[in-house]
Each structure stands twice: as C-alpha cells, then as structure tokens.
C-alpha cells in the first residue's frame, strides 16, 4: 500500500512538472487529490490492514498529499507569473512614441460674450436667473404693462403656441417671474440671459431666434443715477475705459422713463463713420426705471420700492466688439467663422 502511494506521488509530481498551463494543473489537482482520486481509493482499503500498520500508512498518505499539493501550488505560482509576463510582453506600450495631438474645442463666440457679460454683473453683486422659453402671454406681455391689443405688441411679432402661450419675444418676463418669487420684498439684483424668438425674416441684422440679457434691480431708493452708473461701468468694462455713454429718451411700456444707451464710436472716436452712421454713437441697449404698474402687478408696493431694468442683445454686442457683419454667422456653425474666436 505504501508503495502504491509513493508511486502515485511520483506520477503526480511528474505530471505537475510537465504541465504547461493552469487548466491542466487544475485537472491534475482534481484527479489526484479529489474525492474520487486514487489516493482516496487507496485509503479506503486501510480497514483491511493490521491495526499497527494503519498509522504508518496514514502518515505516508498525508505526506504524499502534502507533497502533491505543494508541488501544484508551486507550479501554479510559476504559471501565473509566466502568464502575466506573456500578457505584458504582448501589450507592450511604446512610451517614446509621440502623442497624437488633441484638437481643443473652444467656446462659441456668443457663449463667450454672454459669459463675459455675466461675469461683469456677477462682479457687481448680481445673480443669474433663468426661465422658460415657452412663456405665458401674461408674463411676456400683460404683466409688463402690455395688455392685449396694445399697439407696442406689434414691435415684437410673436410665435404663438396657443392663445395664452408663446415663444418668449424677450427676456423681460423674467423680471416679473423674479419679482413674484420675492413676494413684495426687495432687494432684487439679477440678470437673465436666454434665447428669445420673433417672427422676423432672417437677414444680416435679423434672426427669428436670438439671445438677450435682461437686468433688474429693485430696492428702496433706486434711482436713475444708479442705472446710469451701472451701465457706464458695464460699457467701459466691456468696450474699454475710454468709451463714453449717453442715454437717449425712448419708450418701453414696462419702464418710465425709458432710455436707450449709446456708446461712443471707437472707430472714428466720435467724428462719425459708417459703423456709427455718421453720428459718433452706437446704440447698445434699452433700459429705464421699472414702471409702477409692473411693480404693482408683480406684488411690490411702488411707493416703497423703485427699480431699474435693462435689456441687451449679446449678438449685437459681439458684432460691435468683433466687427461681425452678419448675425447669421452665429447660427450656421461655419467653422471658418467660429475658429476665429479661439482666443477671444
Ligand atoms: N425687452 C426689450 C426688447 O426686447 C428690451 C428692454 C428694454 C428690456 C428696456 C428692458 C428695458 O428691461 O428696461 O426690446
């Protein structure tokens, strides 16, 4: 019996030695050490041995098992290591190869100018508010002092969805939405950038979809001089410290008084050229003191609170700043156009 065990041991060790992969090695483990293996088989016959021989055979059997098991473990480690090395060799990376250049994207000029304007106002303590592009007639017109049938509605040809909803024609409805949220309590100091829509035929200066940035400040004792000072800082930060601003009287239903702001033309330094159409000034935005009706409709006491508002078109501002002649350039995504603004 002992002899048989030693034979089995030798057989197993030879097979382990000869094995070339982990699968074969595992088969060897199962066939020699498993419950149905030859060693177990031999041990089953132990009962027939004289009692004094049993412990001796038992000891031999244990040693044989241990030897086989150790051999398998040792071989397994070697095979695993070899496998990893093989993998490493086959997947070798040449770290000295030059890298493939990654083409860097850049901001769209419109995004860039909007973010620049946002940063400017954030620097003056404003926060950013955003609202829906599909808007209620009430917010887009009525609550801005433009009741149904008001002739000034014609200035903004609209895409109606139903009688009461439309694609917003301006970002001004965010004034009302913001005031409503404040439930009659100031202060409010926000800008609202976003897309707006009008039923215009697209040409060099019109687009049926464009962007606006709205501004609103409401508090006690807000005066026209606050508006003027704010706009001056804004214009000079964006267009250069040497720019002058002027306010011209204008009309918007939601502000009283209403103004339009011009900046001095940099190209001719105020002498008059074709960019400023000979006037020396370029129109930048509309603004004014929030109409008491608008404050009241949004739940603010117009005796206690006053405010100013302004609205501008980032396309127009970018066109002036970068000398872009056709508004459609912003939307057709011609890379020859867009890529000129990589660093802008
Ligand atoms: N919403 C106006 C427009 O689209 C622009 C505007 C003018 C906004 C004066 C204002 C403002 O907030 O006070 O033409």
Per-residue pLDDT tens for 284-336? 999 999 999 999 999 999 999 999 999 999 999 999 888 888 999 999 989 89
Mean pLDDT of all residues in 28-51: 83
Give the Å distance between the CA of 58 and the centre of ligand 1: 100
Assign 265 a pLDDT band (cuts: 50, 70, 90).
Answer: confident
- Which tens digit of pLDDT belongs to each residue from 209-262? 999 999 999 999 999 999 999 999 999 999 999 899 999 999 999 999 999 999
Q: Which residues contribute to the annotated binding site for Mg(2+)?
A: 256
CA 198/CA 18 separation, integer angstroms: 83
Q: What atom in ligand 1 is closest to the CA of residue 171?
A: 1
The predicted structure's pLDDT at residue 92: 83
Please state the φ and ψ torsions of residue 123, each to the nearest 5 degrees: -65, -20
**Displacement of CA 145 from its chain's centroid (Å):** 36
Give the Å distance between the CA of 214 and the centre of ligand 1: 7
Give the Å distance between the CA of 145 and the centre of ligand 1: 12
Q: What atom in ligand 1 is closest to the CA of residue 215?
A: 12
Percentage of residues in the chain having pLDDT higher than 70: 99
Task: Show the ligand 1 pocket: residues with CB < 6 angstroms.
Answer: 170, 172, 214, 252, 255, 286-288, 309-311
Give the Å distance between the CA of 4 and the centre of ligand 1: 102
Exposed e or buried b per residue across 123-153, where buried means at least 16 C-beta atoms within 10 angstroms of its C-beta: eeebeebebeeebbbebbbbbbbbeeeeeeb
Give the Å distance between the CA of 236 and the centre of ligand 1: 20
Q: What atom in ligand 1 is closest to the CA of residue 169?
A: 4
- Residue whose CA lies nearest to ligand 1 atom number 6: 311
Average pLDDT, the chain: 91
Place of tokens 């398998």: 72
Give the Å distance between the CA of 246 and the centre of ligand 1: 17
- Residue whose CA lies nearest to ligand 1 atom number 4: 170
Q: What is the pTM of this model?
A: 0.71
Among 126, 252, 261, 293, residue to substitute to test ligand 1 (most atoms within 8 Å of Cβ):
252
Give the Å distance between the CA of 265 and the centre of ligand 1: 22
Q: Of 21-30, 171-180, 264-273, which has the strongest mean pLDDT?
A: 171-180
Fold of 109-341: BirA Bifunctional Protein; domain 2 (3.30.930)
Q: What atom in ligand 1 is closest to the CA of residue 308?
A: 13
Exposed e or buried b per residue across 23-32, where buried means at least 16 C-beta atoms within 10 angstroms of its C-beta: eebeebbeeb
Q: Enumerate the domain spans of the chain.
A: 2-90, 109-341
Among 156, 287, 294, 314, residue to substitute to test ligand 1 (most atoms within 8 Å of Cβ):
287
């Amino acid at each position: 019996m002992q002899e048989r065990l030693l034979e089995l041991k030798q057989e197993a060790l030879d097979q382990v030695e000869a094995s070339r992969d982990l699968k074969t090695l595992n088969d060897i483990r199962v066939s020699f050490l498993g419950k149905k293996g030859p060693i177990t088989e031999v041990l089953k016959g132990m009962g027939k041995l004289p009692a004094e021989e049993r412990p001796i055979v038992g000891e031999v059997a244990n040693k044989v098992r241990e030897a086989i098991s150790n051999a398998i473990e040792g071989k397994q480690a070697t095979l695993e290591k070899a496998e990893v090395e093989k993998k490493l060799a086959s997947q070798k990376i040449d770290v000295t190869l030059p890298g493939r250049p990654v083409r860097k994207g850049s901001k769209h000029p419109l995004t860039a100018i909007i973010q620049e304007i946002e940063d400017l106002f954030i620097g003056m303590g404003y926060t950013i508010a955003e609202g829906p592009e599909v808007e209620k007639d009430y917010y887009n017109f009525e609550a801005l002092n433009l009741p149904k049938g008001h002739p000034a509605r014609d200035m903004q040809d609209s895409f109606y969805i139903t009688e009461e909803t439309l694609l917003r024609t301006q970002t001004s409805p965010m004034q009302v939405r913001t005031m409503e949220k404040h439930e009659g309590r100031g202060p409010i100091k926000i800008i609202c950038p976003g897309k707006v829509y009008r039923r215009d035929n697209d040409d060099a200066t019109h687009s049926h979809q464009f962007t606006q940035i709205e501004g609103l400040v409401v508090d006690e004792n807000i005066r026209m001089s606050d508006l003027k000072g704010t706009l001056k800082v804004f214009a000079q930060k964006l267009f250069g410290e040497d720019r002058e601003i002027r306010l011209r009287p204008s009309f918007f239903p939601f502000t009283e008084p209403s103004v339009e702001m011009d900046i001095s033309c940099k190209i001719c330094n105020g002498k008059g050229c074709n960019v400023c159409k000979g006037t020396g000034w370029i129109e930048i935005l509309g603004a004014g003191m929030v109409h008491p009706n608008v404050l009241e409709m949004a739940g603010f006491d117009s005796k206690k609170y006053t405010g100013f508002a302004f609205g501008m078109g980032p396309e127009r501002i970018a066109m002036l700043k970068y000398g872009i002649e056709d508004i459609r350039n912003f939307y057709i995504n011609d890379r020859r156009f867009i890529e000129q603004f990589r660093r802008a």
